[in-house]
Structure 1
Amino acid sequence: MSLPPLHSFKVFECVARLGNISAAADELHVTSGAVSQQLKALQASLGVELLVKQGRQLVLTDSGRVLQKHVASAIREIGGAVSVLRNATVRPDEVKPLTLSIPGAYGLSWLATRLFTFMDENRHIKLNVISEVSYGLVDWRRADVAVTYGTPPGAGFWWRLLHGIRMTPVCSPQLLRGDRAIRQLSDLAHHRLLHEDDGAQWRRWLTEARCHEREYSSVHFDDFGMVLQGAIDGFGVALSDELVSARDLDDGRLVQPFTLSVPALHNYYCVCNDSSRGRPEVDEFIEWLGSST
C-alpha cells in the first residue's frame, strides 16, 4: 500500500498538537486553506476521520489518537537522528549560546525535563536558562527566546502557540473516598475550588458542566504551584491541563474526577524578537520545542 505524502503527516501532527487550523498554518508558514486541504486529502487517503470539531477546537478521534502517537514519535526519532549526526561533527568553535527565559513556576515542570533532552541532542547549542514570573518582565537584553503563559505579545515580537491547553478538574485521590466523596458534579459543592485567577476559569468550566447556579467555596492563590499543591494535599479541587499535571497524574498524586475539559483562558507561547528569527540556533530551538510539546 502506498503512503500518503509525508508532508501531510507533519501537517496532521501540527493540527493535532495545536487543535486549531489557523495556529497550525501560522506555525507551518502556509495558508489555513492549504492546511485544510492536506487534512482532507490525508483522511480521504486513509479512509478514516482523524479530527472532529468541538466548539472552536479540533479534537482527535480514536483513530486520530493512534496515528498522532506514532507520527509524533516518528518526528522525534528523525529529529534525534539528525541531532546525533550533527553532534558527531560539531567543533568547539561552532557551539552557539542560546538564552531561554521561562516562568519560575510549578507549571513549567513539563518543560524543564524536556530541556535536558534538548541539551543532549543539540551539543552545538549551549543553552542557558533564566526565569521571570511574567512575560512583561522578560529581560530581552539577555533572553533570545522566552516561554510565556498568558496571551500573545504585541508588535515587534514573533510568537508561536505551543499547545492549546484544555482545563479539567484535578484533586487528591482521597477526595474520591469518604462521606463527601466526589462522584457526581453536585459533590463539588462540598469542596473548595482552588484557583490562581479571579475565578473566571472555574466559572467557564462550571457553565459548560451546567452547574454554575450553585454556590461554591473557593480559595485564591497568586501562584499556580500553590494551587496544585493544595489539590495534591487534599484541600480542594483545582483546574489543570493534562500536560502540566502529567507527572502528578501518572504517579497518582492527582486524579481527574470528571472528563469534561474546556479551553483555557490563557496558553503557553514561545516568543522571540522579530530580529532574532532567522538565527539558526533560535529557529532550531523553536522547531524542536514545537515538536516536543
Structure 2
Amino acid sequence: MALPSLHSLRVFESVSRLGSIAAAAAELHVTSGAISQQLRALQLSLGLDLFEKRGRRLVVTDRGAALQKSVGLAMQHISESIRDISANAYSAADKAILTVSAPPVFGTTWLTARLFRFLDANPDIRMRMRTAIDFEEVDWREVDVAIVYGKPPWSGFWWRLLHSIHASPVCSPQLLRGPNGIREPRDVLRHRLLHEDDGDQWRRWLTEARVPHAVESDIYFDNFAMVLQAARDGHGVALTNDIISFRDLDEGRLVQPLTLGVAATRSYYCLCHEKGLANPAIGRFVDWLGDQASRPSS
C-alpha cells in the first residue's frame, strides 16, 4: 500500500487533536472544505473510518487513535529536527531579508493565504512585501522576487509560469434569481458588466459565447479588487478566474453561473534577476512558489 501524503496526515493530526474541522482549517490556514476533502481522501486510501461524530466534535475511532499517536510523534520529531537544523545553521548569521512584489489582488487572495507557511518553514528569512501589477511597475532596485501579470520575454530576468488564466463570469448569488436570473450566456447582458480594462475581455468572452453585443459600461475600474467587491455586492457580473476567486466561490460570496472561460492574453509569472537564483533565499522562495502553484487551490 502506498503511504498517504504528508499533507493529508498533517490534516488528520490537526483534526484529531482539535476535534473540529473548522479549528483545523484555522490552524492550517485553509478552508473547511479543503480539510474535509483531505480527510475523505485519507480514509478512502486506508479503507478505514478514522472518526466518529459526537455532538459537534469529531472523535477518533480506536484505529484512528492508534494512527493519531504515531502521526503526532512523527510530526513532533520532524518539527524538532527542523528547529535544530535551523538553529545550528543560522545561529551565527543574521536573517536574510527577501523583498517580494505581487499584484494586490493576487497577493490578497492567493499569496498571503500561503505565505506564512513559507515563513514557518524558513525561520532564517524575513520578508518585505510590495505591490505592483506588471513588470514595468516593479522597482527592481529593491525587489528580489516579483509575481507579475504579463507575458515574457523579459531581458536579463529568469521567469517561471505560475498560473495560466482562463476567465469566466462570476456574480453574487442574488443575480441567479428572479426573471433576470443568469441561466445562459445572453443573460449576462441583463446586468452591468464590470470592467477592469477597456472592455476587450468581455468582448472576447461574448464573442466566444456567440452572443451579439456592443460592450459599453458606465464605469471602469483600474483596481481589480474593486471589480470583485462590486460583484460580491450584486452590482454586476465580473470576469475572473478560480485562482483569484477560489475563496469567494468556496465560501459562497460569489458563484459561477456559466462555465465558459476564455484564455487571457497574460498570465501570472514569477520573476527574478538571472543572477538572483544564486542567492539561496531567492532560490528557496521561487521553488516554493512553483510547488504551491502546482497544487490544487486550497
Do Structure 1 and Structure 2 share a fold, with TM-score over 0.5?
A: yes
Cross-structure match for 1:184: 184
Cross-structure match for 2:84: 88
**8 A Cα contact 1:108 1:244, kept in partner:** no
1:183/1:142 Cα in 2 relative to 1: closer, same or farther (>3 Å)? same
Distance in 2, matches of 1:217 and 1:187, equals 16
Cross-structure match for 2:259: 259
Displacement after TM superposition at 1:153 (Å):
4.8
TM-score under structure 2 normalisation?
0.66
Verify: 1:231 aligned to 2:231, yes or no.
Answer: yes
Distance in 2, matches of 1:147 and 1:98, equals 13
After superposition, residues 187-226 of structure 1 pair within 5 angstroms as 187-211=187-211, 213-218=212-217, 219-226=219-226
Q: For 1:118, what is the secondary structure of its paired residue?
A: helix
Displacement after TM superposition at 1:276 (Å):
0.7
Displacement after TM superposition at 1:263 (Å):
1.3
**8 A Cα contact 1:189 1:216, kept in partner:** no
Displacement after TM superposition at 1:274 (Å):
1.2
Q: What is the RMSD computed on CA atoms of the aligned residues?
A: 2.5
Distance in 1, matches of 2:100 and 2:213, equals 44
Q: For 1:210, what is the secondary structure of its paired residue?
A: coil
Q: For 1:98, what is the secondary structure of its paired residue?
A: strand
Q: Which runs of 5+ in 1 are unaligned?
A: 3-68, 71-80
User: What percent of counterpart residues are identical?
Assistant: 49
**8 A Cα contact 2:203 2:213, kept in partner:** no
Verify: 1:164 aligned to 2:160, yes or no.
Answer: no
Larger Rg: 2
Distance in 2, matches of 1:200 and 1:181, equals 24
Distance in 1, matches of 2:159 and 2:282, equals 12
**8 A Cα contact 1:192 1:217, kept in partner:** no
Distance in 1, matches of 2:78 and 2:224, equals 37
Bigger shift: 235-244 or 143-152? 143-152
Q: For 1:245, what is the secondary structure of its paired residue?
A: helix
**8 A Cα contact 1:98 1:144, kept in partner:** yes
Distance in 2, matches of 1:82 and 1:215, equals 59
Distance in 1, matches of 2:163 and 2:187, equals 31
Q: Which runs of 5+ in 2 are unaligned?
A: 3-40, 43-76, 294-298
After superposition, residues 262-281 of structure 1 pair within 5 angstroms as 262-281=262-281
After superposition, residues 6-85 of structure 1 pair within 5 angstroms as 85=81
Cross-structure match for 1:175: 175
Displacement after TM superposition at 1:256 (Å):
0.2
**8 A Cα contact 1:84 1:121, kept in partner:** no
Displacement after TM superposition at 1:277 (Å):
1.7
Distance in 2, matches of 1:217 and 1:138, equals 31
Displacement after TM superposition at 1:250 (Å):
1.2
Cross-structure match for 2:296: none
Distance in 2, matches of 1:133 and 1:125, equals 24
Displacement after TM superposition at 1:143 (Å):
1.1
Letter of the 1:89 partner, please give it. I
Displacement after TM superposition at 1:96 (Å):
2.2
Q: For 1:193, what is the secondary structure of its paired residue?
A: coil
Letter of the 2:91 partner, please give it. P
Letter of the 1:179 partner, please give it. P
1:82/1:124 Cα in 2 relative to 1: closer, same or farther (>3 Å)? farther
**8 A Cα contact 1:201 1:265, kept in partner:** no
- Deviation string 1:27-71 (CA, Å, 9 cap, x unpaired) is xxxxxxxxxxxxxxxxxxxxxxxxxxxxxxxxxxxxxxxxxx99x
- Deviation string 1:177-224 (CA, Å, 9 cap, x unpaired) is 11211111121121111111121211221122111x234553421111
Letter of the 1:88 partner, please give it. D
Verify: 1:106 aligned to 2:105, yes or no.
Answer: yes
Distance in 2, matches of 1:131 and 1:236, equals 27
Q: For 1:204, what is the secondary structure of its paired residue?
A: helix
Paired residues in the alignment total: 217
TM-score under structure 1 normalisation?
0.68
Distance in 1, matches of 2:243 and 2:115, equals 15
Letter of the 1:146 partner, please give it. A
